Amino acid sequence: MPFNKAHKWHIPSLMEWYARNQAKHELVLNWVAWRPLQKALQGAVERARRLGCTHILFTEHDHWGYPIDGLDVLLAHDKDVVGFLTHYKEPPYYPMAYRKKDPSVSMMERKKNLRVFRPSGLAQCDLITWAFTLVKMSVFDKMLEAGKDPFASWGVVPPDSCFCQYCEDLGIERWVDGSVEIEHGDVPISHIPAMRRAFESILASQRRLNLHDMVELDEEHDIIPYQLELQKEAIQARNVELAPADEVPAHDSVLA
């Protein structure tokens, strides 16, 4: 796990989880401080290979709330790459599981080709985060044989995008388990509904969103909520005056 300035709840949560799982799973903690993310990830792979490890469990310093039996759950899935769901730290707290809109577009191209979705259980995805993700060492062995190093550098493409694209190139599936959600940042999951509602109210007061037309984000609707283009037709049908387009900031980030 890379470490810069840990979230205040990260270390207590991680230490409790580690203490209760270390002996059972013969865990080795790879805690790397003050190094670039890709270097910390690359170092973890190299150390795991030297120690003869079978898996690497990745997490990051702004996550917390690790389920004590989480590793058991992921091991039971027996997937090459599998992790738990998490969410963005800012409203509207999108889930961080992604599918491509166009499967032919590489995640290395930095095109706006990803859509978020919220799986109810175990589901295949194109891009997964490092919140609590288990990867078999055989995945990195395949990449090494193919001359692919997902953590060789970090330019415009973040390491998770590079890793997941190389997995796709080699036919390695990525899976996300939506039955468990890892905490991320300052807002606990239990507080997110209220925080989202407050965010929606702000958008509605600024005539960017009609609350009656908000689309639910679930496994049946893998779209981006709150995006003006998705709401425009419904809002106009209700005769709600829209702000000029140049006055409405985009909320789609790289997810559009």
- What is the pLDDT, as a whole number, of residue 4? 57
pLDDT higher than 90, residue 48:
yes
Average pLDDT over residues 214-221: 46
Tens of pLDDT, residue by residue over 22-31, are 999 999 999 8
- CA separation for the pair 84, 164 (Å, rounded): 15
- What is the pLDDT, as a whole number, of residue 209? 58
Q: Percentage of residues in the chain with pLDDT exceeding 90?
A: 57
- What is the pLDDT, as a whole number, of residue 229? 44
What is the separation of C-alpha 63 from the centre of its chain, rounded to a whole number of angstroms?
11
Q: Which residue has the tokens 């609350």?
A: 211
List C-alpha distances in Å: 124 to 82, 95, 107, 173, 178: 9, 14, 16, 7, 11
- CA separation for the pair 60, 4 (Å, rounded): 9
Cis omega (within 30 of 0) on the bond before 92?
yes
Tens of pLDDT, residue by residue over 195-204, are 888 887 877 7
pLDDT higher than 90, residue 84:
yes
pLDDT higher than 70, residue 188:
yes
- What is the pLDDT, as a whole number, of residue 168? 98
What is the separation of C-alpha 186 from the centre of its chain, rounded to a whole number of angstroms?
16
- What is the pLDDT, as a whole number, of residue 211? 53
Instruction: Say what the pTM is.
Output: 0.80
| Window from 60-64, 108-112, 188-192 with minimum mean pLDDT | 108-112
- The larger pLDDT score, comparing residue 186 to residue 248, is at 186
- The larger pLDDT score, comparing residue 195 to residue 135, is at 135
Task: Give the start-to-end residue ranges of the domains of the chain.
Answer: 2-184, 189-255
pLDDT higher than 70, residue 2:
no
Look at the domain 2-184 and name its fold: Spore Coat Polysaccharide Biosynthesis Protein SpsA; Chain A (3.90.550)
Average pLDDT over residues 189-198: 87
Contact 252, 113 (CB under 8 A): no
Question: What 3-state DSSP class applies to 49?
Answer: helix
